[in-house]
């Protein structure tokens, strides 16, 4: 962040200056700039120092770069655009970035070393930048972990999403491993900011922070209560941890079925048939004020006994009688009826197939007619029978 | 009549004495006659063609119907354009008329009636024996045909029929025999009424053609006359449809085809018009149980059987009152 600010000022200042006082063009010359001219390095490590070569108001010309005072055993390369370079060329009022790749030997003794970088043109202009590199003891990695909303409330079916800010407070880039420890069967996943990929580690540059998202899904059958989840971030021995809390409020869940699970039945047109329905609450909170309704074909009648149930405790079952009367003129065949149970915010429905049969009265009448015909025949035989 | 019905003329013993010999003799006559051979060939030719075609169709086309065996009867093959049951609707009356049109008057004309009646055989037994023999002959032919169809189905489809399919097939057989019986009774009535076999055959065939061709037109004319522009509601329309159906059902052919439809197409729920309100919530295409199908067509079956008995009773009354000593 600070480096960015410095760069911004570096870029903006000449522009602003140029606009504000164009003709008396202020500073003129050749400059070598770096953010931190005095730095700490660690033995056995490689670090990169960014240096800007700034040409303020001079004619562009090749500038030879040279390093003086490199301690014995150290290796310092000048890189430009990833390649070793020996000279740079900056346009008028422009700057060129150069990296110093410093390899500190493992056995470098603690203490300060001064390296001088010089840029010299053929015309004789020159600029130099002394860099003080102190071989020091290693500063420990430090991480911070914050959450804006560490406690969320929801139902067992909610996905709890926490936005966490992980900061790298140490002087070097770290790859931070992420872990969350919740109660058994709680599923937790990390995603990056607005991304959708699940991650288990995230690289964070020195001094930067990153937002990550933690999603915790409780098991469906979790009881109401508060559940803490321990979030742990770790990198190179540094750890930070915090607790986020899931406040799970219970939720009832209705299920409508029959005693043996069979969703079909038989009925006779014009007569009432009774089907036993089973209302189960397989949720985690009681279901209150369950009202039963049903949809049946036209001119059918449907009633429930009881019509409503005051409350069903979690894991409990209640039986309800559905009294269905097919219409008097219902034609034999299969019909669809649907039963619904609705409570506050919860509902369940079941489609029920009813096979309607018709009365056998007509069959008896038919047999009667045949019997009458036979009687007529017998009467004729008796009346007209002769030799 | 009343004066003649004295005790002396009253019959002694059962009126059905001698029915057995008449039945056996008539059956033997029928089964050995050339007419019977011709009729059988006629039936087999007419029945075999639709059955062979529908079997071929069923073998090549996947039929989603779960009552595959019944489809042999009801499928309307493209090449033939007529299903087996529709063919039977023609053949059965023709065959029944062929068996019965000269049963009594030929005896008159050959002057054998008084000779037969001089035996210890009542007239009752003679007529009833002739009728039952005709019905039995007819039933034998139909059962043979039915068995051939089922056998061909087994052989060519390679699927055994389910129990319910066999039950429905047997129901179909019973209905077909009752349908034949009604036409047999009609042709016997004419053979009793008319002395000339040709006239009797003509009358019976004429009645059959009347019901086949003219009656539908006549019924719809009667219905449109009854309507007289008064259809205001669905109920009016349904009532009119009911009237049309009622008139059509005076024809035995209609009764037969309705009964067969419900038996062989189990998804048939109703034979009359269905109000939209009755359709709501119904699962279409679901087959009815066999007993419900039977209940649905019970009036038709009743009509066929009772009609057969009543027509036979009429023939019986006429025959009993006739002078036989010609």
- Per run of 10 residues, the mean pLDDT along chain A (length 387 residues) is 56 47 63 87 82 86 87 88 88 88 84 87 85 76 85 86 88 85 90 85 87 89 86 87 88 86 87 90 84 88 89 88 87 87 86 85 82 87 70
Q: Environment class of residue B157 by beta-carbon count within 10 Å: exposed (0-12), middle (13-18) or buried (19+)?
A: middle
Domain with B225 in it: 17-272+285-320
Asked if B122 and A385 come within 8 Å (Cβ–Cβ), the reply is: yes
Asked if B281 and A297 come within 8 Å (Cβ–Cβ), the reply is: yes
Query: Can you tell me the distance from the alpha carbon of B116 to that of A219, in angstroms, rounded to the nearest whole number?
Result: 96
Contacts of B180 (CB under 8 A, 6+ apart): B92, B93, B95, B96, B135, B138, B139, B142
Option in A297, A363, A373 nearest B282 (CB): A297
Mean of the per-residue pLDDT values for chain B?
84
**Which chain A residues are Cβ-neighbours of B262 within 8 angstroms?**
none
- B241 occurs within a structural domain: yes
Q: What is the pLDDT of residue B173?
A: 93
Question: Pairing between strand A38-41 and A126-135?
Answer: parallel
**CB contacts < 8 A (A, B):** 108
Task: State the architecture of A2-135 in CATH terms.
Answer: Sandwich (2.60)
- B3 occurs within a structural domain: no
CATH assignment of A143-248? 2.60.40.10
SS3 A380: helix
Percent of chain A at pLDDT exceeding 70: 91
Whether B198 contacts chain A with CB within 8 A: no
- B291 occurs within a structural domain: yes
Tokens 């219970």 belong to which residue?
Answer: A250
Enumerate chain A positions whose Cβ falls within 8 A of a Cβ in B: 295-300, 327, 329-337, 353, 355, 357-358, 360, 362-363, 365-367, 369-370, 372-374, 376-377, 380-381, 384-387
Option in A336, A362, A377 nearest B295 (CB): A362
Pick the closest to residue A189 from A240, A241, A235, A231 (CA basis): A231
Asked if A337 and B292 come within 8 Å (Cβ–Cβ), the reply is: no
| CA closest to A355 among chain B residues | B288
Q: Which long-range contacts (CB under 8 A, 24 or more apart) does A378-384 make?
A: A380/B313, A380/B316, A380/B317, A380/B320, A381/B15, A381/B124, A381/B316, A384/B316, A384/B317, A384/B320, A384/B321
- B25 occurs within a structural domain: yes
Query: Can you tell me the distance from the alpha carbon of B50 to that of B85, in angstroms, rounded to the nearest whole number?
Result: 9
Q: What is the pLDDT of residue A139?
A: 62
Decide if the complex's ipTM is over 0.95: no
* A284-342 pLDDT per residue, tens: 788 888 899 998 888 889 999 888 888 888 888 889 999 999 888 788 888 888 999 98
Whether B123 contacts chain A with CB within 8 A: yes
Secondary element (H or E) of residue A161 = strand A160-168
Strands (E) located in B17-133? none
Q: Is the pLDDT of residue B17 over 70?
A: yes
Structural domain total, chain B: 1
Write out the two tokens for A300: 């059918």
Asked if A381 and B15 come within 8 Å (Cβ–Cβ), the reply is: yes
Q: Is the pLDDT of residue B320 over 50?
A: yes
| CA closest to A382 among chain B residues | B15
Q: Fold identical between A143-248 and A254-357? A: yes
Asked if A332 and B295 come within 8 Å (Cβ–Cβ), the reply is: yes
Mean of the per-residue pLDDT values for chain A?
84
The residue among B121, B281, B297 with the most chain A CBs within 10 A of its CB, best to mutate, is B281
C-beta atoms surrounding A14 within 10 Å: 18
Secondary element (H or E) of residue A243 = strand A238-248
Sign of CA dihedral B211, B217, B221, B227: positive
Query: Can you tell me the distance from the alpha carbon of A235 to that of A226, in angstroms, rounded to the nearest whole number?
Result: 29
Pick the closest to residue A354 from A381, A331, A373 (CA basis): A331
Query: Can you tell me the distance from the alpha carbon of A305 to that of A14, in angstroms, rounded to the nearest whole number?
Result: 87
Option in B11, B282, B294 nearest A385 (CB): B11
Listing from the earlier edge strand, what are the strands of the sheet with A38-41?
Answer: A38-41, A126-135, A111-121, A62-68, A87-89
Claim: this prediction has a pTM higher than 0.80:
no
Q: What is the pLDDT of residue B308?
A: 93
Percent of chain B at pLDDT exceeding 70: 94
- B10 occurs within a structural domain: no
Residues A218/A222/A228/A229 CA torsion (nearest 10 deg) = -30
Q: Environment class of residue A283 by beta-carbon count within 10 Å: exposed (0-12), middle (13-18) or buried (19+)?
A: buried
Tokens 């990153």 belong to which residue?
Answer: A210
Q: What is the pLDDT of residue A16?
A: 46
CATH assignment of A254-357? 2.60.40.10
Min Cα–Cα distance to chain B from A343, Å? 26
End-to-end CA distance of chain A: 131
**What is the 8-class DSSP label of residue A181?**
E
Option in B9, B288, B301 nearest A386 (CB): B9
* B208-252 pLDDT per residue, tens: 999 999 999 998 888 888 776 667 777 778 788 888 888 888 899
- B178 occurs within a structural domain: yes
Min Cα–Cα distance to chain A from B46, Å? 32
- B32 occurs within a structural domain: yes
Query: Can you tell me the distance from the alpha carbon of B317 to that of B101, in angstroms, rounded to the nearest whole number?
Result: 17
- B136 occurs within a structural domain: yes
Asked if A385 and B299 come within 8 Å (Cβ–Cβ), the reply is: no
* B205-220 pLDDT per residue, tens: 999 999 999 999 998 8
Q: Distance of alpha carbon A172 from its chain centroid, rounded? A: 28
């Amino acid at each position: 962040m600070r480096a960015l600010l410095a760069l911004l000022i570096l870029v903006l200042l000449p522009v602003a200056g140029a606009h504000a006082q164009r003709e008396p063009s202020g500073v003129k010359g050749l400059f070598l700039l770096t953010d931190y001219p005095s730095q700490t390095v660690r033995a056995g490590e490689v670090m990169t120092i960014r240096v800007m070569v700034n040409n303020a108001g001079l004619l562009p010309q090749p500038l030879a770069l040279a390093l003086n005072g490199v301690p014995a055993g150290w290796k310092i390369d000048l890189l430009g655009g990833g390649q070793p370079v020996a000279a740079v060329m900056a346009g008028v009022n422009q700057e060129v970035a150069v990296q110093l790749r410093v390899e500190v030997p493992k056995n470098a003794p603690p203490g300060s070393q001064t390296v001088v970088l010089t840029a010299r043109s053929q015309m004789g202009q020159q600029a130099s930048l002394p860099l003080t590199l102190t071989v020091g003891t290693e500063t420990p990695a430090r991480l911070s972990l914050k959450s804006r909303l560490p406690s969320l409330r929801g139902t067992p079916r909610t996905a709890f999403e926490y936005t966490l800010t992980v900061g790298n407070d140490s002087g070097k880039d770290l790859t931070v491993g992420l872990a969350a420890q919740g109660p058994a069967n709680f599923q937790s996943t990390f995603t990056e900011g607005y991304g959708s990929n699940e991650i288990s580690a995230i690289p964070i540059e020195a001094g930067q922070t990153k937002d990550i998202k933690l999603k915790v899904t409780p098991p469906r059958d979790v009881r109401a209560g508060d559940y803490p989840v321990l979030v742990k971030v770790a990198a190179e021995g540094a750890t930070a941890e915090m607790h986020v809390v899931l406040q799970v409020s219970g939720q009832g869940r209705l299920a409508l079925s029959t005693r043996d699970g069979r969703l079909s039945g038989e009925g006779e047109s014009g007569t009432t048939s009774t089907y036993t329905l089973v209302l189960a609450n397989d949720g985690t909170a009681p279901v209150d004020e369950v009202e039963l309704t049903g949809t049946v074909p036209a001119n059918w009648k449907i009633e429930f006994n009881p019509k409503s149930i005051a409350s069903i405790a979690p894991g409990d079952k209640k039986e309800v009688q559905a009294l269905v009367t097919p219409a008097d003129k219902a034609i034999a065949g299969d019909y669809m009826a649907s039963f619904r149970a609705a409570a506050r915010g919860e509902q369940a429905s079941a489609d029920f197939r009813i096979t309607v049969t018709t009365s056998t009265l007509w069959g008896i009448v038919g047999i009667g007619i045949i019997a009458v015909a036979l009687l007529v025949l017998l009467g004729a035989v008796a009346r007209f029978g002769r030799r | 009549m009343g004066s003649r019905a004295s005790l002396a003329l009253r019959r002694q013993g059962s009126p059905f004495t001698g029915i057995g010999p008449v039945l056996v003799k008539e059956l033997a006559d029928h089964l050995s006659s050339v007419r019977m051979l011709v009729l059988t060939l006629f039936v087999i030719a007419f029945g075999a063609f639709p059955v062979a075609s529908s079997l071929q169709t069923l073998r090549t086309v996947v039929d989603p119907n779960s009552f595959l065996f019944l489809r042999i009867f009801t499928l309307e093959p493209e090449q033939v354009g007529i299903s087996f049951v529709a063919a039977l609707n023609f053949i059965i009356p023709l065959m029944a008329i062929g068996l019965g049109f000269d049963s009594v008057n030929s005896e008159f004309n050959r002057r054998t009636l008084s000779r037969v009646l001089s035996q210890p055989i009542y007239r009752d037994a003679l007529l009833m024996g002739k009728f039952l023999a005709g019905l039995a002959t007819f039933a034998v032919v139909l059962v043979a045909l039915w068995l051939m169809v089922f056998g061909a189905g087994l052989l060519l489809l390679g699927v055994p029929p389910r129990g319910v399919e066999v039950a429905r097939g047997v129901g179909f057989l019973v209905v077909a025999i009752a349908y034949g019986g009604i036409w047999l009774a009609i042709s016997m009535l004419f053979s009793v009424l008319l002395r000339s076999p040709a006239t009797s055959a003509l009358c019976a065939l004429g009645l059959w053609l009347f019901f086949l061709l003219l009656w539908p037109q006549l019924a719809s004319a009667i219905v449109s006359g009854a309507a007289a522009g008064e259809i205001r509601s669905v109920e009016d329309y349904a009532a009119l449809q009911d009237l049309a159906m009622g008139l059509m059902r005076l024809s035995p052919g209609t009764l037969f085809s309705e009964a067969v439809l419900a038996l062989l197409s189990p998804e048939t729920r109703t034979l009359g018009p269905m109000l939209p309100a009755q359709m709501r919530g119904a699962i279409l295409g679901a087959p009815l149980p066999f007993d419900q199908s039977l209940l649905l067509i019970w009036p038709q079956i009743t009509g066929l059987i009772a009609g057969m008995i009543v027509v036979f009773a009429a023939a019986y009354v006429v025959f009993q009152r006739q002078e036989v000593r010609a």
